[in-house]
Structure 1
Amino acid sequence: MTTSATPSLRCPDTASDYATQCAGSPATWALIRDRHDHQLWQVHGPRMAVAVKVASGESAARALVREAAALRAMPPGGIRVLHTADDVSCPEPWAWLITPWAAGPTTWDTFKKLRDNSGRDEARRAAVELCMAVGRLHTAGWVHGDLRPHHAVHTTAGVRLLSCTGASRIGNAVSATYLGGLVHLLSPRLAAALESTVAGVVLDPADEVYTLAAGLWWAATTTWPLAYADAGIDSSTMTAVELRRAIATARISLASGAAHSWPEFLAPLRTAMAQTPSDRPSALQLADQLKTVQL
């Protein structure tokens, strides 16, 4: 194994062997993310590039097991599971997962030119692609659970949605450990549901459309879609739990976006977030609305 960094965790030999078999030999390993309880490796070889996720400890291992199970059950067109293994019952729980590497820019990356006051066409195209990918997922009866512009990769074969630990079938309760993803992108209704003491939060596509619009707003502006300052809130000093409780009150107004260089792009996003869940457009309808935004 050729590596580009010294890891804090050891990749199991079986995972290493499978990754090399998939990628082909010689394979080059690059450590993309290294935290105390999980890693992400990119393994590149003559056959293909694969992603290897390794998790250690009960919380991280169970999260990776949930992601592997979700990926196996989710509709075609997403990330395929090539190999996976786990042991969450031993004294030191562990898990690993191998999938094809999703090659391409994230939605956040594609918005860079827009944030630099150019590249409107590229950003609009990426936004439409993401909305359509989410719409297809919802149509197939699934919700992602942690949409954000860094979790969607625009590949030559279409959008690939990453970080599917929170994914679930529509109508099924999510894991008790589910926290809702990035708190700034939570709809007030979902934030309130997560604050409730009643077990068994069920994700709704309408709340995910809110998160979808909020994430695109963030990618376009680098600012959060809620007007925290107008509500007297300094979000940088609050914990995620405190902020979630504030969002759950539904008393924080949406940012206007009027000062942005492309307010026409922000308008359908703001409308989607402002509407009540029952009146909110579907992800596919939001895609259609964004297609008509003037460059």
Structure 2
Amino acid sequence: MSSPTPELPLVVLDALMPTAQRLVLNRRGSTVWDVESHRGRYAVKLGYPVAATAEWPAQPWTALAPAREGAVLHRLGSEEIAYGEWEHGTWNIQPWQEGPDLYRLWEPCRAGSSVTPHASVALGCVEALVELHAKGWAHGDVQPAHFIVGPERTHLIDLALARGGHVPAGYDFPFRGCLVHYEAPEIARSVLTTGEAEPTQAADIYALGASLLISATGWRAVEYPDDAPRPVQRQAIVDGRRRPVIVPGELGGLIEAMLSTAPEERPTIYDVGQTLS
């Protein structure tokens, strides 16, 4: 099917009665809105299936992702969460988190200036992941864009792929990997072998290390051509084509440990937090 015209469905309009709305993201299978209403400010996510193309297979799971995330957030005890179905897929409503993401915040570090990545920012990301891991969940899609550095704390967003508790069967789907730049070797190997994988907290640690590295330096943790197909990218990760970690100070050594090939050799999120603090 073709992508629907990006507009909020009536069920969401009735729930929020927006006073202002802004389309933030419109990509394959998903639109995200910044919506203001008399009740407050919210992020609204709409999902719809993606048809197959010459470059990409069909992606039916994208239609379910917003409702799955809503169910995960509800299980985690988040307030002001709503989710449901619309004509083309599912939707969710959640509080808007204000602030730059990690990659944007550390842009000066990548600009060749004397600015170095601050450990306190990294610690804020760790604290957000600690909160999730302490509840027995793995995020499954840790990346710089999913750490929103707010004025009081850092928020970890986009939990549609998280694993750790019950999700309604009608909204669930297999985990088939995430953005390859941040996939741990064991995740990439499983996806190459079986087409699926199981998110783990150890894989989240690898992804956090890769996120800190690319945000601070602009370099991916693993070297492969920018235009390489995903199987080629994943094979490079499995083969261990790691770039050296060139980040000054204690943070560099910590990232190196987080990017260890073997999951059992990586520090836990609690170890990382203790080192940074």
Counterpart of 1:208 in structure 2 is 204
Q: Does 1:290 align with 2:276?
A: yes
CA RMSD of aligned residues (A): 2.7
Listed one character per residue, the Cα deviations across residues 1-23 of structure 1 (whole Å, up to 9, x for unaligned) are xxxxxx92332112012122xx6
The two structures have a TM-score, normalised by structure 2, of 0.83
- Alpha carbons 2:25, 2:32 under 8 Å: kept: yes
Counterpart of 1:67 in structure 2 is 69
Counterpart pick for 1:33 among 14, 25, 46:
25
Counterpart of 2:183 in structure 1 is 186
> Which whole-Å CA distance do the structure 2 matches of 1:145 and 1:171 have between them?
15
Counterpart of 1:49 in structure 2 is 41
Q: Secondary structure at the match of 1:104?
A: coil
Q: CA deviation at 1:219?
A: 0.6
Counterpart of 2:232 in structure 1 is 242
Counterpart pick for 1:257 among 245, 248, 254:
245
> Which whole-Å CA distance do the structure 2 matches of 1:17 and 1:176 have between them?
29
Q: Does 1:9 align with 2:6?
A: yes
Q: Secondary structure at the match of 1:85?
A: strand
- Alpha carbons 1:148, 1:215 under 8 Å: kept: yes
Counterpart of 2:142 in structure 1 is 147
- Alpha carbons 2:254, 2:272 under 8 Å: kept: yes
Q: Secondary structure at the match of 1:238?
A: coil
Counterpart of 1:272 in structure 2 is 258
- Alpha carbons 2:48, 2:64 under 8 Å: kept: no
How many equivalent pairs are there? 260
Q: Secondary structure at the match of 2:243?
A: coil
Q: Secondary structure at the match of 2:236?
A: helix
The two structures have a TM-score, normalised by structure 1, of 0.78
Q: CA deviation at 1:36?
A: 5.8
- Alpha carbons 2:183, 2:206 under 8 Å: kept: yes
> Which whole-Å CA distance do the structure 2 matches of 1:280 and 1:35 have between them?
33
Listed one character per residue, the Cα deviations across residues 43-88 of structure 1 (whole Å, up to 9, x for unaligned) are 1245421111122334322122211111111255xxx44322215x
> Which whole-Å CA distance do the structure 2 matches of 1:51 and 1:157 have between them?
19
Q: CA deviation at 1:264?
A: 4.2
Q: Structure 1 residues 203, 48: closer, same or farther in 2, change over 3 A?
A: same
> Which whole-Å CA distance do the structure 2 matches of 1:135 and 1:164 have between them?
14
Q: Which AA in structure 1 matches 2:192?
A: E
Unaligned runs of 5+ in 2: 50-59
Identity of matched residues, %: 24
Q: Which AA in structure 1 matches 2:71?
A: A
- Alpha carbons 2:143, 2:208 under 8 Å: kept: yes
Unaligned runs of 5+ in 1: 1-6, 229-233
Q: Which AA in structure 1 matches 2:232?
A: E
Counterpart of 1:3 in structure 2 is none
Q: Does 1:109 align with 2:114?
A: no
